[in-house]
Amino acid sequence: MTRSTGGRTRMTGRERREQLVAVGRTVFADNGFEGTTVEEIAARAGVSKPVVYEHFGGKEGLYAVVVDREIQTLLDAITGALEGRAHARALLEGAALALLDYVENSSEGFRILVRDSPTGQSTGSFASLISDVASQVEHILGAEFTSRGLDAASAPIYAQMLVGMVALTGQWWLDSPTFAKEEVASHLVNLAWNGLAGMEANPSLRTNR
């Protein structure tokens, strides 16, 4: 609960922490981790530097909290979109739309994830996120491969490729939002599902959310 003292509004410890997380999220999105300073975070929040150190120990601690929250938000959105989808195409459509929803609605968070932890790196928060999502779809792809007489043992490879493709396209779309979200998703599914040899001339999504 906030309290007013002498014309100034005082926040509880929890409220102040949440304010600093929100401010830090914006500053990290604008400047990146290296370009962000505790001084700027404190100034934007209207507090002194010691307040930031008191809550997070420095910008590293604040950054870790921001990243952890973004990863959980995106992972929850994607895994939630996969629930109840037993068919590989429906799974791919759901994952593509969920990630593009996140890019559209949480652009600051997505910029933080991809700027300081590029997808192409073997370690880092975004690369770890991609691996987490890919592991969620391996068993569904494995079942699809088995039904088609393909080697199910290769499903983890394809899961990484599919999820990585969607993530990289989302990163591109964030900076080049020329196409509608559903249009981007349909073209992603078109390539992933049909392959270059079987591309549809006018792709469209077939499943509902």
Mean pLDDT of the chain: 84
Would you say residue 4 has pLDDT above 70? Answer: no
Q: Provide the CATH number for the domain around residue 87.
A: 1.10.357.10
**Concatenated DSSP letters of 148-208:** TT--GGGHHHHHHHHHHHHHHHHHHHHH-TTS-HHHHHHHHHIIIIITGGG--SS----S-
Answer yes or no: is 142 within a domain.
Answer: yes
Answer yes or no: is 16 within a domain.
Answer: no
Answer yes or no: is 145 within a domain.
Answer: yes
Report how many domains make up the chain. Answer: 1
Answer yes or no: is 192 within a domain.
Answer: yes
Answer yes or no: is 42 within a domain.
Answer: no
Answer yes or no: is 56 within a domain.
Answer: no
| Contact (Cβ atoms closer than 8 angstroms) between residue 173 and residue 183 | no
pLDDT tens-digit map of 132-187: 778 877 877 787 788 878 888 888 888 888 888 888 898 899 888 899 999 999 99
Answer yes or no: is 76 within a domain.
Answer: yes
Answer yes or no: is 83 within a domain.
Answer: yes
* Residue range of the domain that includes 146: 68-198
